[in-house]
């Protein structure tokens, strides 16, 4: 695992987008799996701009959404689906056969999970994952206590995840479960980028990098990934020993 620190959110986002855009230019048929949320929002904008400016062929890459709030329709403006539709799929005019997202309204969410596991196998694994980190150290909806070998699964969300998650919605929503790609897939992913910005993330970033590797603090799994990168701004890194 390597830690790369950038001056501020803008530099962090521009550089993260650069890593992904360059990877797509090098391997036009790669599979990218991404989290939604506040952290990667600006990265998406930079990524779209860079792929277009560089005239990169992005017609062959595959996109997989990391997770979704169980029960939400894709039209809900707070859903991960809506985020990707407006920030990636529409601006890049991706074909619908190019992207794969959990159907969080499926009657059988377990079946949805097995379909995602199979899709990842069929794609020959994920090349790049870009994830964020929650205030309890979660990645995707892999909440504290999730096995480091878990595949796609339905997760009971902690109170903090449900309360922080309200920020994505126009009004209060009842959030219960999440559906997510698990750590078994993260560990098999060729390259993983975990991004964080702002002083509110400083404590969880310190635990991720300097704390013990334990399933009770999910993001600590990054220490075990041989091609894992922690991409942060100075504020998120402000509690690290070496700052
Ligand atoms: C969302 C996701 C979550 C977020 C995390 C941080 O798709 O996977 O794990 O990455 O909750 O959220 P933000 O970036 O909004 O602080």
Instruction: Reply yes or no on whether the pLDDT at 160 is more than 80.
Output: yes
> What does the pLDDT read at residue 188?
98
How far is residue 162's CA from residue 215's CA, in Å, rounded to a whole number? 20
Q: Tell me the whole-structure pTM to 2 decimals.
A: 0.98
Closest C-alpha among 223, 148, 216, 235 to residue 192 = 223
Residues flanking ligand 1, CB < 6 Å: 35-39, 66-67, 80, 131-134, 138-140
**Which of 87, 132, 178 best tests ligand 1's pocket when mutated (most atoms within 8 Å of CB)?**
132
For residue 164, report the distance from its CA to the centre of ligand 1, in Å: 10
Q: How confident is the model at residue 243 (pLDDT cuts 50, 70, 90)?
A: low
**pLDDT, tens digit, 9 for 90 and up, residues 73-132:** 999 999 999 999 999 999 999 999 999 999 999 999 999 999 999 999 999 999 999 999
Residue nearest to atom 12 of ligand 1 (CA): 37
Q: What is the mean pLDDT of residues 28-37?
A: 98
Q: Give the pLDDT score at 105.
A: 97
Nearest-CA residue for ligand 1 atom 11 is 134
Q: DSSP characters for the chain?
A: -EEEEESSHHHHHHHHHHHHHHHHHH-TT-EEEE--SSTTHHHHHHHHHHHHHTT---SS-EEEE-EEETT--TTSTTSHHHHHIIIIIHHHT--GGGEE---TT-S-HHHHHHHHHHHHHHTTS-SEEEE---TTS-BTTB-TT--TT--SEEEEPPHHHHHHGGGGSSS-----EEEE--HHHHHHSSEEEEEE-SGGGHHHHHHHHHS--BTTBGGGGGGG-TTEEEEEETTTTTTSTT-
Looking at residue 242, its pLDDT comes to 75
Alpha carbon distance 148, 142 (integer Å): 9
pLDDT over 90, % of the chain: 99
Q: What is the mean pLDDT of residues 164-177?
A: 96
For 201-236, the pLDDT digits (tens) are: 999 999 999 999 999 999 999 999 999 999 999 999
Q: What is the mean pLDDT of residues 33-58?
A: 98
Asked if pLDDT for residue 200 goes beyond 90, the answer is yes
Report angle CA 165, 168, 173 to the nearest 5 degrees: 65
Mean pLDDT calculated for residue range 53-78: 97
The mean of the pLDDT values for the chain is 97
User: Ligand 1: which of 35, 169, 204 to mutate, judged by most atoms within 8 Å of the beta carbon?
Assistant: 35
């Amino acid at each position: 695992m390597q830690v790369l620190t950038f001056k501020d959110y803008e530099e962090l986002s521009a550089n993260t987008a650069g890593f992904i855009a360059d990877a797509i230019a090098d391997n036009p048929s790669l599979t990218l799996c991404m989290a939604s949320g506040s952290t990667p929002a600006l990265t998406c904008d930079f990524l779209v701009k860079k792929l277009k400016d560089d005239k990169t062929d992005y017609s062959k890459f595959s996109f997989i959404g990391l997770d979704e709030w169980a029960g939400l329709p894709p039209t809900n403006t707070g859903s991960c689906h809506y985020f990707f539709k407006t920030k990636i799929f529409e601006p890049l005019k991706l074909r619908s056969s190019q992207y794969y997202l959990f159907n969080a309204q499926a009657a059988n969410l377990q079946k949805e999970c097995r379909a995602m596991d199979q899709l990842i196998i069929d794609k020959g694994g994920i090349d790049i994952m870009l994830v964020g980190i929650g205030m309890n150290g979660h990645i995707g909806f892999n909440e504290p206590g999730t096995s480091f070998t878990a595949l796609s699964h339905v997760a009971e969300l902690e109170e903090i995840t449900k309360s922080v998650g309200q920020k994505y919605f126009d009004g209060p929503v009842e959030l219960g479960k999440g559906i997510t790609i698990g750590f078994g897939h993260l560990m098999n992913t060729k390259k993983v980028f975990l991004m964080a910005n702002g002083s509110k993330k400083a404590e969880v970033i310190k635990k991720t990098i300097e704390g013990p590797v334990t399933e009770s603090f999910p993001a600590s799994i990054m220490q075990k990934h041989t091609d894992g990168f922690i991409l942060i701004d100075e504020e998120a890194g402000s509690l690290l020993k070496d700052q």
